[in-house]
């Protein structure tokens, strides 16, 4: 949808508060008010935190952290395994609430989405009022809380939603954006990871104001193509549209094993299980791909990927497993120690050619904990 010249978009970023943990605490009263970790078991080697309740976050527990480390930080934490079917059901109900106000909804995962309410269905007009109504509906109908960021573009709205969590609502208007970006610490810039943030700090770049001092060609020289984005965003310029139909680019499943795999027979047996999971997911989403990628992580944490592409799209188990086995054999797995295997399918085929648009990439967030 085109926005008329000289007018600003009205963008809302909704982010559910500790989503998986909040659903568990809502459905199980005995879990309320205690440090709760949703994720893999700390007893296994590969357990990872999917999310943690706010009570657990006080101890420094964060998502993607090894479960063993989480247990060390909070020995009395309660661990529960994820129930993704339940989370997906709740996510669909949240999406239904969004759709009362706009059809321009861009989900980023089960628990967050962008909404363009420039022209809202109910002619409310105020993005702040819409955000308030959405938050209240989620609270009343689902007994959960969400935080909202409201601004004129996606980047600022996303950062704003994180400012007053949980149950927050932050508006950053057009006149306040540039000053806000100047004060923002570089590690708070969405898309700037730890490594890039450290590199920036070594260069004396600690805030948006510091970044703003560098010419665009200097930013590109140090940070590649991302430099163009940093140059624009620190000035509050983000023209990306909310894309309601994001194209799925890959689908994957992987597993970290409780012990190192040392024989080809063990490796192929585990690949069979993973290939079945991938095949089931392809069928669930009615997808067929042209490329199989095998991911291997060894006991020394060295990681490699190998892939093979076909001219015609496929989604059957036999093609997936035979290709994965061939890719494994090509790595000479004898006498190797493997701690993780993964299979992903990409390069999805369409029955009819479909015009691709820029920035139409996404990856299904499918966990295998």
The separation between CA 227 and the C-alpha centre of its own chain, rounded to angstroms, equals: 22
Residue 118: strand, helix, or coil:
coil
Give bridge partners of residue 330 from the DSSP assignment: none
Report yes or no: 347 and 291 within 8 Å, Cβ to Cβ: yes
Question: Is 112 considered catalytic here?
Answer: yes
Catalytic-labelled residue, pool 24, 112, 241, 254: 112
Interstrand relation of 36-39 and 169-171 (parallel, antiparallel or unpaired): unpaired
Q: What are the start-end ranges of the E strands in the chain?
A: 11-16, 36-39, 49-52, 78-80, 105-109, 112-116, 146-151, 169-171, 250-261, 289-298, 303-314, 338-348
What letter does residue 363 receive in the DSSP assignment? -
DSSP string covering 27-79, please?
Answer: H-GGGTTS-EEEES-TTSSS-BEEEE-HHHHTTT--TTSBHHHHHHH-TT-EE
Residue 84: strand, helix, or coil:
helix
User: How far is Cα 157 from Cα 149, in angstroms, rounded to an integer?
Assistant: 5
The separation between CA 29 and the C-alpha centre of its own chain, rounded to angstroms, equals: 28
User: How far is Cα 75 from Cα 360, in angstroms, rounded to an integer?
Assistant: 43
Interstrand relation of 289-298 and 338-348 (parallel, antiparallel or unpaired): antiparallel
User: How far is Cα 156 from Cα 152, in angstroms, rounded to an integer?
Assistant: 8
Q: Which residues are catalytic?
A: 112
């Amino acid at each position: 949808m085109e926005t008329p010249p000289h007018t600003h978009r009205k963008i809302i970023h909704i982010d559910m508060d500790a989503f998986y943990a909040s659903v568990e605490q809502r459905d199980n009263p005995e879990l309320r008010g205690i440090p709760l970790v949703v994720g893999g078991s700390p007893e296994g080697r590969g357990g990872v935190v999917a999310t943690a309740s706010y009570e657990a976050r006080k101890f420094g527990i964060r998502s993607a952290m090894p479960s063993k480390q989480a247990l060390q930080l909070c020995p009395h934490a309660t661990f529960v395994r994820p129930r993704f079917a339940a989370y997906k059901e709740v996510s669909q109900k949240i999406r239904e609430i969004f759709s009362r106000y706009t059809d321009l909804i861009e989900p980023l995962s089960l628990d967050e989405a962008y909404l363009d309410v420039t022209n809202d269905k109910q002619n409310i007009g105020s993005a702040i009022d819409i955000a308030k109504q959405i938050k209240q509906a989620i609270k009343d109908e689902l007994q959960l809380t969400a935080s909202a960021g409201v601004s004129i573009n996606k980047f600022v709205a996303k950062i704003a939603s994180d400012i007053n969590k949980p149950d927050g609502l932050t508006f950053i208007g057009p006149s306040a954006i540039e000053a806000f970006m100047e004060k923002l610490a570089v590690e708070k810039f969405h898309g700037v990871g730890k490594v890039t943030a450290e590199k920036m700090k070594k260069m004396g770049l600690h805030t948006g104001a510091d970044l703003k001092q560098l010419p665009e060609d200097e930013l590109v020289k140090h940070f590649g193509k991302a430099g163009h984005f940093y140059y624009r965003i620190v000035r509050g310029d983000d023209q990306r549209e909310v894309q309601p139909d994001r194209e799925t680019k890959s689908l994957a499943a992987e597993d970290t094993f409780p012990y190192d795999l040392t024989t080809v027979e063990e490796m192929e047996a585990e690949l069979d299980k993973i290939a079945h999971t991938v095949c089931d997911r392809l069928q669930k989403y009615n997808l067929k791909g042209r490329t199989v990628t095998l991911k291997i992580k060894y006991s020394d944490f060295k990681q490699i990927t190998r892939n093979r592409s076909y001219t015609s799209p496929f989604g059957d188990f036999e093609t997936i497993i035979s290709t994965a086995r061939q890719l494994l054999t090509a790595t000479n797995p004898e006498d190797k120690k493997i701690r993780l295997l993964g299979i992903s399918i990409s390069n999805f085929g369409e029955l009819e050619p479909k015009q691709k648009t820029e920035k139409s990439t996404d990856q299904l967030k499918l966990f295998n904990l």
